[in-house]
Amino acid sequence: MRVAILGTRGVPASYGGFETAVEEIGRRLVKRGHEVTVYCRNPGQHRTEYLGMHLVNVPAIRHRYTETLSHTALSTVHAVVRDRPDVVLLLNAGNAPMLKPLKLAGIPTAIHLDGLESKREKWRGAGARYYRWAEDASVRWGQEVIADAQAIADHVRRDHGRDCVVIAYGAPVIDPPATRLHELDLAAGGYHLVVARFEPENHVLEAVHAYRASTESRPLVVVGSAPYSQWYVDAVHAAAAGDPRIRFTGGVYDQELLDQLYGHAITYIHGHSVGGTNPSLLRAMGAGAAVAAFDVEFNREVTDGEALFWADADQLTGSLDAVAAGALDERLAHLRTLSQRRVLDHYQWDHVADQYEALIERLASSRRRGGARA
């Protein structure tokens, strides 16, 4: 079948979980004989093929409120007029307005909701109102609705009365060497790690406060940046000011180095609270990280309840103090084993691709029957 994927930055994946998912799923669908077209908005990109996927590079209006939707609108026009795919996978609930023209063109479409976008700080005000509308529109207009976690599907069932197709992300199970940690002046088993965009819902500020109040002497390495929340970046840096134990690296997009950071941290501190199945969390678990996770249903689902959970800075400080004292050594070793086992058993890309293939076959068959959802 001919499958078009719209609504992301595209591939090669260099930014975010959606893009990694597109790359991993798309290349597997190609190997299974499907024709996959990915619409991209990677600035300056000229390649038209990658890992067997056909790439269409489409412009966008570069502003956080218009970039995604403007790009997806132009992609939709191209898909309807030129590509004529059998099925569209539309990612991000914010792209819900494109469901109507795709339906009018007779192209079966599944929309992926991502997390609870309206709760993200960067969309507060008008943006949050738009995302609440878009979530409702996605559920009403999407022929199929995809959630990447059961907790998201439960939310949709509770608030909108519709069932979702639950398809999570995947991650590799690896045993990375520590050969590149010296680039950041780090040693294996000698640091704690945060990897996150600096946004309030990711609780980076609380993690820094917690660590600063702890008795831990081994450094806290904070990886990440924020394209839109400079005030929050400033608050995080201010909270760490004068503490030489806290090190900021900025964004790290070198996956090999990131895997080594995940695999050799004492703990991976995960503060994300409004997403579903978080790709960074899966990647850390697959590399054998012992996770200290913010206590929300999404993180409990992904870890199967096997993590050091914290609901505020004080609780995280208590865990870090216990780690510093050696009281949790056996627990951390057990968590590392459980992390990899969880990913191996439930979050493998081959299985994710199986589920997407079944979904697109179901969508295509509905087109043949003329059974698109009203």
Sorted by where each starts, the structural domains of the chain and their CATH numbers stand as 2-169+349-369 (3.40.50.2000), 181-346 (3.40.50.2000)
pLDDT of residue 274: 87
pLDDT of residue 64: 66
Amino acid 17: pLDDT: 78
- Sequence-distant (6+) residues with CB within 8 A of 200 are 121, 229, 232
The confidence score (pLDDT) of residue 373 equals 43
Burial class (CB in 10 A: 0-12, 13-18, 19+), 315: middle
What CA–CA distances, in Å, run from 185 to 191, 250, 269, 329?
11, 15, 20, 24
In this prediction, residue 128 carries a pLDDT of 82
What is the reported pTM?
Answer: 0.93
pLDDT at 125: 76
Q: Per-residue confidence of the chain (374 residues) as pLDDT tens digits?
A: 999 999 999 999 876 678 999 999 999 999 999 999 999 998 889 999 999 999 999 998 877 668 889 999 999 999 999 999 999 999 999 999 999 999 999 999 999 997 666 566 665 777 788 889 999 999 999 999 999 999 999 999 999 999 999 999 999 999 999 999 999 999 999 999 999 999 999 999 999 999 999 999 999 999 998 877 789 999 999 999 989 999 999 999 899 999 999 999 999 999 999 888 999 999 999 999 999 999 999 999 999 999 999 999 999 999 999 999 999 999 999 999 999 999 999 999 999 999 999 999 999 998 766 654 43
Q: What is the residue-wise DSSP string for 19-68?
A: HHHHHHHHHHHHHTT-EEEEEE--TT----EETTEEEEE-----STTTHH
Pairing status of strand 53-57 against strand 49-50: antiparallel
pLDDT of residue 21: 94
Burial-class residue 210 by CB neighbours within 10 Å (0-12, 13-18, 19+): buried
- Separation CA 149–CA 133 (nearest Å): 21
- Hey, what amino acid is at 124? R
Q: What is the pLDDT of residue 374?
A: 38
Note whether 359 and 110 are within 8 A (CB).
Answer: yes
pLDDT reported for residue 242? 85
Q: How many CB atoms lie within 10 A of CB 327?
A: 11
35-40, strands of its sheet edge to edge: 49-50, 53-57, 35-40, 2-6, 87-91, 109-112, 144-147, 165-166
- Angle of helix 150-160 relative to helix 126-141, nearest 10 degrees, comes to 90
